[in-house]
Chains A and B, each alone.
Chain A
Amino acid sequence: MADVVFKNVSFRYGSHAVLEDFNLEIKSGEIFCLVGSSGCGKTTLTRCLLGLNRPSAGEILIGGVCVFSASRHIDMAVERRNIGMVFQDYAVWPHMTVGENVAYPLKKKGITRRETEERVKKALDLVNMGAYSGHLPNQLSGGQQQRVAVARALAAESDVIVMDEPFSNLDAKLREQMLDELRDIQKKSGTTILYITHDQQSALRLCDRMAIMEPGGKLCQTGTDEEIILHPKSRFAFEFIGVANFIPVRKSPDGTFRLIAKEREFDWVPAQDPSEAGERFLVGVRPGDIVFDPDSPLRVTVRRAVFLGGEYDYFADLGGTELRIRQNSQETENGVPVREGTETGIRFCDCRYFPKEEGAAI
């Protein structure tokens, strides 16, 4: 168990700054998910933590011990930081059997052979790979190799484990199972886990707390998963964790609001009080928070209706702006969806307000 602290960490490739003044605190014994699109600096961050990349500034502390400090010239060697790592490309050694792979960190720690055998078996059983101990990695599928990599990190019983997209090659069902098991294991061992992914569903399933990383290495929001889902602080966070519609809004001098679609404007009565949002802002609304209401003044034409099993996904035209609307199959009238080409009205049940982007056209 150990907490992890990044203090003002900066890292650059040549002149390109990947991380700038990055700050993050991961509490001891929690599962922390870092979610971000590819290329935003997630992997660089983990490599800095491991000691594979050397930041140009800042400090990194693990369990209260400084493992890196640019100002104090501290840079602890990778192997001394005691961090388990699951690499995105598995990094399972092809010349060692599955068992030898998992046993390697224990060998380096000088653990007795008997205990090593026990721990290797336990770790492989945890990831459902117990039967493959004698196999060579090239006899395994990608998903199986990923599980071996996870077992290798678990067997070492490090204070901190970093996982970079560890289950990306598993099918959805197995991934869910693995995530649930990982959570159980972690709750028992109390290891601190930093889990890196671009898939917010896995993050929600697993984490105690999560952070969303913007391109450019900035964290736009950190908090529990509920906080982030229910109270996204920025447009980026709102957009990143689910499909979102954004429409510009202008406050008229008389205090009423106008929705500004591409080709026309609508009078609009907000569901929540937007008084703090200012004169011009964006309204963000999830497809599931839009309902059809034939009497509403917000007129749309349904262009396409897609049946997705539990729900219908509509692409509707609101004065030239395309909106995504989602309707639960149960809520359709007599099981009949709104037909393509229908002209009808909509209402926003729930929405959020975000400051208007600078320089954006009205």
Chain B
Amino acid sequence: MKRYGRDRMSAGGGLLFGIDGVMTALCYLFLLIVVVIPVVSLGYHAFFYEGRFDPSLFAAQIAEPANRAALWNTLKIAFWVTLFGTAAGTFFGWLLGRSDIPAKGLMRAMFSIPYMFPPFLGAMAWDLLLNGRSGYLNKFLMSAFHLSSAPFNINSVGGIVFVECSYYFPFVFMQVASALERMDPTLEESARIAGAGRLEVFRRVTLPLILPAVSSGALLILIASLAHFGVPSILGFSQGIYTLPTRIYAVISRTGGSFEGIRSGAALSIVLVAVMAVAFMIQKKAIGSRGYDVIRGKSMNPSPVRLRGARIPLFILCIVSLVFTVVVPLVMIFLVSLVRAYGLPLTPANFTLKNYSRIFAASGTAESIKNSLFVSAAAGVLCMIMGTLIAYVVRRIRPRGKGILEALAMLPYSLPGTVLAIGVILAWSGGFFGISLYNTIWIILIAYLARYLSFALQSSSAALLQIHPSLEDAARSCGASHAQSILDVTLPLIRPAMVSGFFLIFLPAMREVTTSILLYGPYTRTLGVQIYSLRDAGMIPQAAALGSIAIVIIVVCNAVVTQITKDRKGV
């Protein structure tokens, strides 16, 4: 048969040197740059000094009372935020997922707004309202009730817990609401038939069934709160209240970003990582012990629980909660962005649009928007490409050590942004082969890549699982090379997941502060950093104006995503 001519024979097979090998090598190279070198640098500099093991710095940081106070605050805040956030999330999740409360669809959309609203802007808004000395609401209450001191002080641990809660309860809310919607209604109905009352059914059937959703959401809150930077930095700095992430930032910025400061930050980072590790261990244990899967993939229409007399009061409660978490901060930011000077009463006479024109005259504002757009889009595209590649290598090519590959790609997910930023500084500002990216946009890009890679990996992995490998095999038996089979079959099938994955990275990256605040240089401010430093410089109306612009950008992008994902074909 001439078709099997000698020239078409390949020796040795394509496994080691072919496209598979190239893809695997590319994944390792990427992870080396973005994850391995920064993490190793961090650990090295925390414990080694000039090539020798030297735990004295680490010990000194632990011994420092201010650091201990920060650790204690971190744990305290995380505990209360988790407790209240979970309670609120479960309650509202049940209310919107299972009861006959009015305007469910609208309310659900509203409740997921805190998801995309940057928490540090919320903190700014509450600071404007309830600042112990000059908050607008405090001043109003003081004059209205002739009080001698401010009734509220948002610049406290309680204030930080309140604001964080209002941004983190959706973690539990969304999980619980969707779990309840997918729950097999016959489970509840059969308990009623067996003679159990409503409360009994909730306590003995519904609650145990949604417990896995509640606990996994609760741990998301716990982890997010432990690593959170924005809210405690805005509300706590003025009163000297520090958490570990803000303390790390303070230590570094106090020394003007010197090597000594960064090393201290690295040592503190180790403490923060240890706390996170404990949280992850709890999560693993909690999830491992609950194995039942009573939630069906199919959507059903369970009969909603009648609230009867409580319907309207609970509806009002929902509206009030929404007003507090969404409307008030939003309106506040917009109003303050219009005021001529900070501190003037919020009356139309004092309103002007000058803040908007002024911020663009200020150095670096337009630059910061451009930087954020560039670095977020680049991070989204690169993360999606590399995340898909890693998912493909891990799921399909399965080289030796695929577990290591996956673990490395997921590792940054468990590292707080602050810690990642320090790792990236230590690695890529001259530490390796003299490569210094310090003060360039690229160092921010590397940190973003590390931070958001796990998002991309998870969404691509899930999409790849839906695609049976035989689809690709079939293309190869039809005469397509491995590369062609990927391009013709696998890639078109996971493209929708890649597009929505891109926005999953782009949107949070647009409002990112935690890592950028440690990495920015004179010409590489991001949008978040610019808002933060405008506020820091006392230009609060301008900060609010830029915040309003950020919100508009995020809302527009979000609308685009919803539009895209809505039209997506169900392949």
Which residues of A line the B interface, CB within 8 A?
2, 50-52, 54, 62-65, 67, 73-80, 82-85, 87-89, 91-95, 104-105, 108-109, 138, 149, 152, 156, 159
CB-CB under 8 A for A84 and B492, given A63-B1, A76-B9 = no
Nearest 8 pairs of A and B residues by beta carbon: A75-B13, A65-B4, A105-B478, A108-B479, A91-B474, A63-B1, A85-B477, A78-B476
- The digit string for B555-571, where 1 denotes a CB below 8 A from any CB of A, is 00000000000000011
A77 to B13, CA, bound (A): 7
B470 neighbours in A (Cβ, 8 Å) = 87-89, 91
CB-CB under 8 A for A108 and B484, given A74-B11, A77-B10 = yes
Interface residue from B473, B480, B493 paired with A52 (Cβ < 8 Å): B473
CB-CB under 8 A for A159 and B474, given A73-B12, A108-B480 = no
B295 neighbours in A (Cβ, 8 Å) = none
Seed contacts A83-B477, A91-B471, A94-B493; 15 additional CB < 8 Å A-B pairs? A50-B476, A63-B1, A63-B4, A73-B12, A78-B477, A79-B477, A80-B8, A84-B477, A85-B474, A85-B477, A88-B470, A93-B471, A105-B479, A108-B478, A108-B480
A67 neighbours in B (Cβ, 8 Å) = 4
A105 neighbours in B (Cβ, 8 Å) = 478-479
Are the C-beta atoms of A76 and B492 separated by less than 8 Å?
Answer: no
A63 to B2, CA, bound (A): 10
Are the C-beta atoms of A65 and B1 separated by less than 8 Å?
Answer: yes
A51 to B468, CA, bound (A): 18
- Chain B nearest CB: distance from A353 CB in Å? 44
- Chain A nearest CB: distance from B374 CB in Å? 32
In chain B, positions 44-81 with a C-beta closer than 8 Å to chain A are none
Q: Using a Cβ–Cβ cut-off of 8 Å, how many residues does chain B contribute to the interface with A?
A: 31
B366 neighbours in A (Cβ, 8 Å) = none
Are the C-beta atoms of A74 and B478 separated by less than 8 Å?
Answer: no
B467 nearest in chain A by CB position: A94
In chain B, positions 485-538 with a C-beta closer than 8 Å to chain A are 488-489, 492-493
CB-CB under 8 A for A79 and B1, given A94-B571, A104-B488 = no
- Chain A nearest CB: distance from B14 CB in Å? 6
A203 to B500, CA, bound (A): 47
Interface residue from A2, A54, A74, A80 paired with B1 (Cβ < 8 Å): A2
A-B pair number, CB within 8 angstroms: 105
Task: Write 15 A-B pairs (CB below 8 A) sorted by A numbering.
Answer: A50-B477, A54-B15, A62-B1, A63-B3, A65-B4, A75-B12, A79-B477, A79-B478, A82-B3, A87-B474, A91-B468, A91-B470, A93-B493, A105-B479, A138-B570
B363 neighbours in A (Cβ, 8 Å) = none
Are the C-beta atoms of B474 and A75 separated by less than 8 Å?
Answer: no
B141 neighbours in A (Cβ, 8 Å) = none
Are the C-beta atoms of B571 and A95 separated by less than 8 Å?
Answer: yes
CB-CB under 8 A for A76 and B475, given A82-B3, A93-B489 = no
In chain B, positions 124-142 with a C-beta closer than 8 Å to chain A are none
B11 neighbours in A (Cβ, 8 Å) = 73-75
A78 neighbours in B (Cβ, 8 Å) = 473, 476-477, 482
- Chain B nearest CB: distance from A159 CB in Å? 7
Judged by a CB distance under 8 angstroms, whether B481 is at the interface is yes
In chain B, positions 6-27 with a C-beta closer than 8 Å to chain A are 8-15
- Chain B nearest CB: distance from A203 CB in Å? 22
A52 neighbours in B (Cβ, 8 Å) = 473, 476
A152 to B470, CA, bound (A): 14
B570 neighbours in A (Cβ, 8 Å) = 138
Are the C-beta atoms of B13 and A79 separated by less than 8 Å?
Answer: no
A110 nearest in chain B by CB position: B479
A84 to B476, CA, bound (A): 10
